[in-house]
Amino acid sequence: MALDTSTAGAVPEVCGRLPGMDPEWLTRQLKMLEEHLAKGEDLIREQRARIEALERLGADTTEAQDFFAILKQAQDDLHERHRAYLARELGRPG
C-alpha cells in the first residue's frame, strides 16, 4: 500500500506566507518538526530491527515491510519536504 504524496508539495503554495508566520513562530515550528523527524527516525530504526528479528525467525514479514515502506515514505516525502519549506521561509538552507 503506497502513501499518496502527490499533493504534499502543494502545502507551501496553498498556505503561502501568512501574516502570523513571523520568524519566531517559524523557528518554533521548525524546531518542533525537527524533533518530530528525530522521533520518526527512531521509529524507522525500531521497525527495521523488528523486521530483521522476524526474518531471523523465518516469519512472513510482508505486512511489516508494507508498514515500514509507508512509514519511511511519510518521513521522507512529507515531513522532510515540510522541514525544507520552513527552513526556506527562514532563509536557511533546506
Q: Which residue has the cell 515514505?
A: 73
Residue 79 maps to a domain = yes
pTM greater than 0.75: no
Q: What pLDDT shows up at residue 49?
A: 94
Residue 94 maps to a domain = no
Residue 16 maps to a domain = no
Residue 1 maps to a domain = no
Asked if residue 8 has pLDDT above 80, the reply is no
Looking at the structure of the chain, the number of domains it has is 1
Query: Which of the pair, 9 or 56, is modelled with greater confidence?
Result: 56
Virtual torsion, Cα 37, 40, 44, 47, nearest 10 deg? 170
9 confidence band (pLDDT: 50, 70, 90):
very low
Domain extent for 46? 22-89
Residue 74 maps to a domain = yes
Asked if residue 38 has pLDDT above 70, the reply is yes
Residue 2 maps to a domain = no
Residue 80 maps to a domain = yes
18 confidence band (pLDDT: 50, 70, 90):
low
